[in-house]
Amino acid sequence: MAKILSVELQKIPKYINVGDDVNDITVLTKIQFHDFDLKLEMPYCLHIFVYDIHGDVDAPLVLPNWDESILIPVSLDRKDDFLGKEVIMVNASESELIVNTPMSLKLGQFNRQMSLTSRKLEVFATIAPVIARASKYSEPFTTNLSY
């Protein structure tokens, strides 16, 4: 089983102009693989989720489904803004691996009816092995009630 040793944000702009369409950031994820992973050259799917945090961090609920894994935030305070996601396929070919993930985010766009003066970015990384549990919600459907 792989272990995420660290997740770091790099190249964060010091100032973001309101209305800017794209800001480039880089996420560095350091992963350590177990000896058994190395023997099997186990494939993994790394998911990177970037949020703008408002107050306490929303508790993440991860529904692993290989390359379609999703993260559902459980709001404890004010709901955080989801800013972007990247999915990267990796193989356990060395004991430690550093994954450099460039991302383009719309940091100057606001989703809420509130005045923001800063962004508090945090990255949540999760990794799903090819041999693991899988989860998926059905598509929503609507039906009518009869009285």
Which runs of consecutive H residues, i.e. helices, occur in the chain? 35-40
Is 103 part of any domain?
Answer: yes
Angle at 10 between CA 105 and CA 68, to 5 degrees: 50
Is 56 part of any domain?
Answer: yes
For residue 81, the domain's CATH number is 2.60.40
Is 35 part of any domain?
Answer: yes
* Full domain range(s) for residue 34: 1-127
Q: How many domains does the chain divide into?
A: 1
**Three-class DSSP category at 90:** strand
Q: For residue 128, list its beta bridge partners.
A: 45
Is 14 part of any domain?
Answer: yes
Mean pLDDT split into 10-residue runs, the chain, 147 residues: 92 69 84 94 92 76 82 73 87 95 74 62 87 79 81
Angle at 81 between CA 80 and CA 83, to 5 degrees: 140
Dihedral, 40, 85, 96, 37 alpha carbons, nearest 10: -20
Overall pTM surpassing 0.85 (yes/no): no
